[in-house]
């Protein structure tokens, strides 16, 4: 059984393109020390997860793949999940990587077709700045996990605006807004940020915009 788990784990990691493999390691940082993750190759990451999550490494991996929008891999390798994946969830039948950024994906769940926004009110730059001022230091986690942005783009934003965390947050939100275009509404941003561990004033502020 342990050998089957290791083989499956390695096959899953080998099916990931390099950028998504790095994103997977980034999302594991809360559960595995970064010093072990960052230099790990695919076989080394398998060994680390099998040691730290014996009998549960596939479930841990499936949870991260869900966040990355790789539902096709979850289904192909029949990985265990706590939550049931809807049968109508779209996935690439040829195994191609769904893009986390770009025009083909939208909302805050990469790879899924978003529901029509309940409120069509657009976000102004002033609105985004007020949200940015309240976002904490975990802005990259918010960007990758809840807004579906790529880590490489967030690192670029940080390099372009050295030493200014509020601008990092603002540019991250503008990147999401540019990608979503007409779907970048107040209600859509609120929906994306609700599962995140954020200052409650952020959701209160977005709620107040919808009442205005």
pLDDT, tens only, 1-24: 444 888 999 999 999 988 888 888
Mean pLDDT of 55-67: 88
| CATH superfamily entry for domain 125-210 | Death Domain, Fas (1.10.533.10)
CATH number of the 5-77 domain: 1.10.533
In the chain, pLDDT over 90 holds for what percent of residues? 14
Residue whose pair of structure tokens reads 């949870």 in the numeric block: 63
- Which residues are paired to 122 by β-bridges? 185
Q: Give me the sign of the Cα torsion angle 80, 81, 82, 85.
A: negative
With left for phi above 0 and alpha for psi between -120 and 50, is residue 95 left, alpha or beta?
left
Regarding pTM above 0.75, the answer is no
């Amino acid at each position: 059984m342990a050998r089957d788990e290791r083989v499956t784990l390695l096959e899953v990691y080998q099916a990931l393109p390099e950028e998504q493999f790095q994103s997977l390691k980034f999302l594991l940082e809360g559960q595995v020390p970064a010093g072990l993750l960052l230099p790990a190759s695919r076989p080394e990451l398998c060994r680390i997860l099998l040691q730290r999550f014996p009998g549960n490494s596939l479930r841990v991996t499936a949870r991260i793949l869900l966040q990355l929008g790789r539902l096709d891999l979850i289904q192909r390798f029949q990985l265990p999940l706590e939550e049931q994946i809807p049968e109508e969830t779209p996935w690439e039948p040829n195994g191609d990587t769904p893009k986390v950024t770009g025009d083909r994906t939208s909302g805050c769940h990469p790879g899924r077709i978003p529901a029509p926004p309940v409120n069509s009110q657009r976000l102004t730059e002033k609105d985004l700045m007020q949200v940015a001022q309240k976002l904490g230091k975990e802005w990259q986690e918010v960007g990758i996990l809840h807004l579906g942005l790529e880590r490489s783009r967030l690192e670029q934003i940080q390099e372009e605006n050295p030493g200014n965390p509020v601008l990092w947050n603002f540019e991250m939100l503008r990147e999401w807004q540019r990608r979503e275009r007409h779907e970048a509404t107040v209600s859509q941003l609120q929906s994306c940020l609700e599962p995140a561990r954020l200052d409650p004033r952020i959701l209160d502020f977005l709620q107040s915009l919808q009442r205005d």
